[in-house]
Amino acid sequence: MTARRPAALAVLLLVAVPARAQAPEPVAVTVTDKGCEPAALTVPAGKSVFKISNKSRRVLEWEILQGTMIVEERENIIPGFVQSLSATLQPGTYAMTCGLLSNPRGTLTVTAATTAAAGAPDPMALVGPLAAYKLYVMAEVEAFQMQTAAFADAVKAGRIAQAKALYPAARRHYERIEPVASLFNDLDKSMDVRADDFETKEADPGFIGFHRIEKGLWVDNSTDGLGPHADRLVADATELKRRIADLTIPPAKMVGGAAGLIEEVAATKISGEEDRYSRTDLWDFHANIEGARKIFDLLRPLVAPRDPDLVARTEKNFSRVDALLAKYRTEEGGFTPYDHLSDRDRTALKGPITVLAEDLSTLRAKLGLD
């Protein structure tokens, strides 16, 4: 058995990546309907800036993978747009996702840096917040695994009404910790994949997980054929719990996760694409806000001395978003179906959520992790 590293040492190893003396030149990559161009890239270790151009016909996410782990990602790249992704990488060979899940992956090779590390942030300040966040994530993944099992039991027993009630209740635990849960590319794609990730959409056999069962419950009003999907979902939730127990959460993933949760709401979830069959989107919005708020609360003591105005502004923005979501609470503790909201309602939500995402996106730089 390999001895566990002390938490502080694990953080040091994750943060202290060699830095280059000069700002890196952007690395261009284009994603088409068929894959990445070029399909293979080579960069030196340290910080790289990737310019991802979406020349496909769908909104996409571009990910850097190490095995099944997502190292860095840029989500919600609209067709015809170019977005930047900053990544600080260790030497090694990585994979790149290239649009549709059926497209071949690209290869990213990171060579050893030749310059010494300079100006690395003090990682010890993050040890406490990281430890507290790990406890929060463990509690949420435990609840997720248990409620997913209950949801699956209802599906397999054909109890449609109960399964519909349990669907958003289970998913909220995943949505709160999505920055960590989605690190495991294989499990994220298995549990949370959408029909749009496939050329043939719902007809593709790879369309499984929560949203496949969601379609069965709300569109087909049937649990026929959903038993194997329910069993797979429980197995994936159990595996996620096991992996997270052994995971040292990367500091940049925790800090950047606060913005990532809110950016996803503002960029795509606000359109209603997430829970398109059940219209339980507001449950996910609320869980994303809760997850981001937890990260921000843990980081506030570190951020406040550097930028008290940012802290005050972010607190105010969280309160605004909370007040807007509270308008759609039901007496049972859930939320109004998303298709009951007007375009004006959705626009009123998007403004404060976008502002909140913009402020949270500065946290990594404030803490020296960019």
Mean pLDDT (the chain) is 88
pLDDT of 120 higher than 80 = no
pLDDT the model gives residue 3: 40
Q: Answer for the pair 184, 202: CB distance below 8 angstroms, yes or no.
A: no
pLDDT of 87 higher than 90 = no
pLDDT of 95 higher than 80 = yes
Residue 119 covered by a domain:
no
In whole angstroms, give the CA distance from residue 127 to residue 123.
Answer: 7
Q: Are residues 109 and 133 in the same domain?
A: no
105 secondary structure, DSSP code? P
Q: Are residues 47 and 185 in the same domain?
A: no
pLDDT of 166 higher than 90 = yes
Q: Are residues 190 and 46 in the same domain?
A: no
pLDDT the model gives residue 176: 96
* End-of-domain residue from the set 113, 135, 151: 113
Could you write out the DSSP letters of every residue in 287-356?
HHHHHHHHHHHHHHHHHTTT-HHHHHHHHHHHHHHHHHHHTTB-TTSSB--GGGS-HHHHHHHHHHHHHH
Q: For residue 224, which phi and psi values (nearest 5 degrees)?
A: -60, 130
pLDDT the model gives residue 24: 64
pLDDT the model gives residue 289: 95
146: its two tokens: 């248990």
**pLDDT interval class at 370 (50, 70, 90):** low
Domain hosting 239: range is: 125-366
pLDDT of 12 higher than 60 = no
Interval 93-110 mean pLDDT: 90
Residue 8 covered by a domain:
no
Interval 311-320 mean pLDDT: 94
Residue 272 — left, alpha, or beta (φ > 0 → left; ψ -120 to 50 → alpha)?
left
Interval 351-363 mean pLDDT: 92
pLDDT the model gives residue 126: 87
Q: Are residues 199 and 72 in the same domain?
A: no
In whole angstroms, give the CA distance from residue 193 to residue 208.
Answer: 7
The angle subtended at Cα 323 by Cα 346 and Cα 334, nearest 5°, is 75
The CATH number of whichever domain residue 241 belongs to comes to 1.20.1420.20
Interval 213-237 mean pLDDT: 97
187: its two tokens: 């499990």
Q: Are residues 239 and 272 in the same domain?
A: yes
pLDDT the model gives residue 13: 38
pLDDT of 134 higher than 90 = yes
pLDDT the model gives residue 118: 38
Residue 313 covered by a domain:
yes
Q: Are residues 154 and 64 in the same domain?
A: no
In whole angstroms, give the CA distance from residue 353 to residue 129.
Answer: 24
pLDDT the model gives residue 272: 87
The CATH number of whichever domain residue 67 belongs to comes to 2.60.40.420
Interval 244-270 mean pLDDT: 89
Q: For residue 68, which phi and psi values (nearest 5 degrees)?
A: -95, 0
Q: Which residues on adjacent β-strands are paired with residue 65?
A: 70, 95
pLDDT the model gives residue 142: 97
221, with CB counted inside 10 A (0-12, 13-18, 19+), is exposed
Q: For residue 348, which phi and psi values (nearest 5 degrees)?
A: -65, -35
Which residue type sits at 96?
M
Which residue type sits at 21?
A
pLDDT the model gives residue 122: 59
Q: What percent of the chain has pLDDT over 90?
A: 65
Of 11-15, 38-42, 241-245, 342-346, the range with the lowest mean pLDDT is 11-15
At 278 the three-state DSSP class reads: coil
The angle subtended at Cα 201 by Cα 200 and Cα 205, nearest 5°, is 80
CA separation, residue 338 to residues 130, 148, 343 (Å): 34, 22, 11
In whole angstroms, give the CA distance from residue 15 to residue 80.
Answer: 34
Q: Answer for the pair 93, 68: CB distance below 8 angstroms, yes or no.
A: no
Q: Are residues 103 and 226 in the same domain?
A: no
Of 62-71, 108-117, 296-305, 335-344, the range with the lowest mean pLDDT is 108-117
At 127 the three-state DSSP class reads: helix
pLDDT of 114 higher than 60 = no
pLDDT of 163 higher than 70 = yes
pLDDT the model gives residue 171: 96
Give the alpha-carbon dihedral of 45, 53, 258, 94, to 10 degrees: -40
State the pTM of this model.
0.76
Residue 210 parent element (H or E): helix 209-218
201, with CB counted inside 10 A (0-12, 13-18, 19+), is exposed
